[in-house]
């Protein structure tokens, strides 16, 4: 699997060029600003941006070229993704922002997770004594939390940015006004939501032109969102939490604007203007663990990403994965993931409400006590019972197992670096593909269904569940934006991924591929994935499903199911002499877009 960087760049650049969608669109279908070609890797100077979308990456590069820093460019990229990736992100959602400050060589984070209404309790998704069907909960006002993305953008810019909100929103406002080219991935995602979208006139007006699926190569415009961005640029993100826009959001949640002719039952929510006015994005310390002498930083709870990736790395610390065979490497990666997810399910929730043992989950002593469960020639049984991080005992479990619960698969990730060496790793989401399916009329964006990340009922009634709904509570997430520093505090790599609970395993596997297996970053991102989340079976992408490695792993006792696609990572890597390498997916989700300010060579 180890290929030279030169061959990797050549092969993947050629592949991405052949996969770029919309390049052959007729002139009349092209947006006013031509979409740059998608390439999965770029090397150069002055800063770098990697995202799933070429227009969005270009928006970040535009801000960097105008002298903005990584934070400015990250917000610009995120805002553009709200236009071109509206089923994954937008101002109606939330996310987690990790920032490396080159001047102080320190890492900081923002928890911009959505919150439940203050009237919510643990029976939010229980009706007549039974949990609601998941699909019914998703497409409802009940699933919509107070958006955190706008507050995240404002907090990041106010704390570390160098440009005004209006300035960094300008590229996204332009894309929304002039339009972007519909590609096959966008059409496919729209098709997957067709039955939902057509039941909400405001949503259909945005994404179903003339009541039909948008054609590949056509231009899709969103003038409502352009006006919303212009409003926020003039008044600040507070305009979303107060005033007319806030009232529009509350009305949409509490009186979902469903087509009267539709037979869909859409349950109302109970969001208030006070819920929006009280929302704050949280500046908080990152998680930190040491792996092979490097410092690995990520997001702390309410996300479980930092603790679970960190615990799994600590479990793998004493196994030399660089010399392991492919089968042994995969075996240990799968088992470390299984153990870390067992502990995640029992211990991680919103720390404002739950007593989360973050420090203990990340201790090497606890990881060692759990690592001794893993054998070279046998497979652990799932669901595995958790350990007790406050009282670690070698090879012991504590209480009963907590089965893994479902978490929506969509989201998007972006990674940015600037010429001063600052980095942002930022994952943002509206949860499911298409979120709640409910757009705010006249405002141009979808609202999240983030509250379905709560457990509807206890995952195991005999075990305390830290992730039940509650008043003002933030649901547990798996988002794992990560930045790795060397011993001197200089960046090595930054990355993240969408994918629901598989975000954790995607980030973990990409880190291990890059740090241990010697893969170039773009190869570590492209490598076929496995995802084990304390379940009876491990998910495999097709390339592993059809490989001899699967047969060998099954001989050890592993059981597998096939998943056509796991995650869609992006990352940046610091290179010598002021250069950056940006890397994105070559194929997954239609391929990503890596761009630099000034290409090398």
Q: How many angstroms from the chain centroid is the CA of residue 525? A: 15
Cα separation, 283 vs 33, whole angstroms:
36
Burial class of 551 by CB neighbour count within 10 A (0 to 12, 13 to 18, 19+):
exposed
Cα separation, 360 vs 446, whole angstroms:
38
CB-side neighbour CA atoms (13 Å) of 523: 20
Cα separation, 145 vs 272, whole angstroms:
11
Q: Examine the residue annotation and report whether 411 is marked as an active-site residue of this protein.
A: yes
How big is the CA angle at 209 (ends 206 and 212), to the nearest 5 degrees? 120
Cα separation, 103 vs 47, whole angstroms:
16
Q: Which helix (H) or strand (E) holds 194?
A: helix 194-197
Cα separation, 441 vs 249, whole angstroms:
9
CB–CB of 386/342 below 8 Å?
A: yes
Which of 190, 287, 411, 433 is catalytic? The answer is 411
Q: Which residues contact 331 (CB under 8 A, 6 or more apart)?
A: 376, 379, 553, 556, 558
Dihedral pair phi/psi, residue 470, rounded to 5°: -165, 165
CB–CB of 412/401 below 8 Å?
A: no
Which of left, alpha, beta for 185 (phi over 0: left; psi -120 to 50: alpha)? alpha
Cα separation, 414 vs 164, whole angstroms:
20
Question: How does strand 560-562 pair with strand 538-540?
Answer: parallel
Which of left, alpha, beta for 292 (phi over 0: left; psi -120 to 50: alpha)? left
Nearest to 357 by CA among 400, 399, 301: 301
Over the range 554-571, which residues count as b (16 or more CB within 10 Å of their CB) and which as e?
A: eebebebeebeebbbbbb
Nearest to 394 by CA among 372, 363, 374: 372
3-state percent helix, strand, coil for the chain, nearest multiple of 5: 40, 15, 45
Q: Helix, strand, or coil here: 485?
A: strand
Over the range 473-489, which residues count as b (16 or more CB within 10 Å of their CB) and which as e?
A: bbbbbbbbbbbbbeeee
Cα separation, 218 vs 282, whole angstroms:
40
- Answer positive or negative: Cα dihedral of 501, 506, 507, 511: positive
**Cβ neighbour number for residue 467 with a 10 Å cutoff:** 26
Cα separation, 431 vs 412, whole angstroms:
10
Please give the positions annotated as active site: 411
């Amino acid at each position: 699997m180890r290929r030279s960087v030169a061959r990797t760049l050549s092969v993947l650049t050629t592949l991405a060029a052949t996969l770029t969608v919309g390049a052959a669109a007729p002139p009349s279908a092209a947006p006013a600003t031509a979409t740059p070609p998608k390439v999965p890797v770029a090397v150069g100077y002055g800063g770098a941006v990697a995202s799933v979308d070429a227009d969005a990456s270009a928006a970040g590069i535009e801000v960097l070229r105008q002298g903005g820093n990584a934070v400015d460019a990250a917000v610009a990229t995120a805002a553009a993704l709200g236009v071109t990736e509206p089923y994954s992100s937008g101002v109606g959602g939330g996310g987690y922002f990790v920032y490396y400050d080159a001047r102080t060589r320190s890492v900081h984070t923002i928890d911009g997770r959505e919150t439940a209404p203050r009237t919510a309790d643990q029976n939010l998704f229980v009706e007549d004594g039974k949990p609601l069907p998941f699909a019914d909960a998703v497409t409802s006002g009940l699933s919509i939390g107070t958006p955190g993305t706008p507050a995240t953008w404002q907090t990041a810019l106010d704390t570390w940015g160098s440009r005004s909100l209006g300035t960094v929103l300008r590229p996204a406002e332009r894309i929304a006004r002039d339009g972007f080219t519909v590609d096959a991935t966008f059409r496919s995602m729209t098709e997957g939501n067709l039955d939902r979208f057509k039941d909400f006139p405001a949503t259909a007006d945005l994404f179903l032109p003339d009541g039909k699926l948008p054609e590949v190569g056509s231009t899709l415009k969103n003038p409502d969102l352009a006006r919303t961005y212009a409003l926020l640029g003039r008044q600040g993100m507070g305009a979303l939490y107060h005033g007319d826009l806030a009232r529009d959001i509350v009305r949409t949640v509490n009186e979902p604007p469903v087509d009267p002719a539709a037979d869909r039952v859409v349950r109302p929510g109970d969001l208030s203007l006070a819920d929006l006015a009280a929302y704050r994005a949280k500046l908080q310390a990152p998680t930190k663990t040491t792996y092979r002498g490097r410092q690995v930083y990520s997001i702390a709870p309410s996300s479980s990403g930092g603790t679970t990736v960190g615990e799994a790395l600590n479990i793998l610390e004493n196994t030399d994965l660089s010399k392991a065979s492919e089968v042994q490497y995969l075996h240990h990666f799968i088992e470390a993931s299984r153990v870390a997810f067992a502990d995640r399910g029992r211990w991680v929730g919103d720390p404002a409400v739950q007593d989360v043992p973050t420090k203990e989950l990340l201790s090497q002593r606890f990881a060692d006590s759990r690592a001794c469960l893993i054998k070279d020639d046998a497979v652990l049984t799932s669901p595995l019972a958790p350990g007790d991080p406050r009282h670690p005992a070698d090879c012991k479990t504590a209480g009963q197992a907590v089965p893994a619960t479902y978490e929506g698969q969509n989201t998007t990730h972006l990674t940015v670096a600037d010429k001063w060496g600052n980095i942002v790793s930022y994952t943002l989401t509206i949860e499911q593909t298409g979120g709640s399916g409910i757009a705010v009329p006249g405002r141009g964006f979808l609202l999240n269904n983030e509250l379905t990340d709560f457990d509807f009922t206890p995952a195991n009634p005999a075990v305390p569940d830290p992730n039940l709904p509650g008043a003002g509570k933030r649901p547990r997430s798996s988002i794992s934006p990560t930045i790795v520093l060397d011993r001197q505090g200089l960046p090595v790599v930054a990355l993240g991924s969408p994918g629901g609970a598989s975000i954790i395993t995607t980030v973990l596997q990409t880190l291990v591929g890059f740090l241990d297996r010697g893969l170039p970053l773009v190869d570590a991102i492209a490598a076929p994935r496995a995802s084990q989340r304390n379940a009876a079976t491990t998910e495999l992408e097709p390339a592993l499903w059809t490989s001899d490695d699967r047969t060998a792993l099954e001989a050890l006792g592993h059981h597998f199911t096939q998943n056509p696609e796991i995650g869609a990572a992006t990352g940046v890597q610091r290179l010598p002499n002021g250069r950056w390498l940006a890397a994105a997916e070559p194929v997954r989700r239609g391929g990503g877009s890596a761009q630099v300010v000034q290409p090398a060579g």
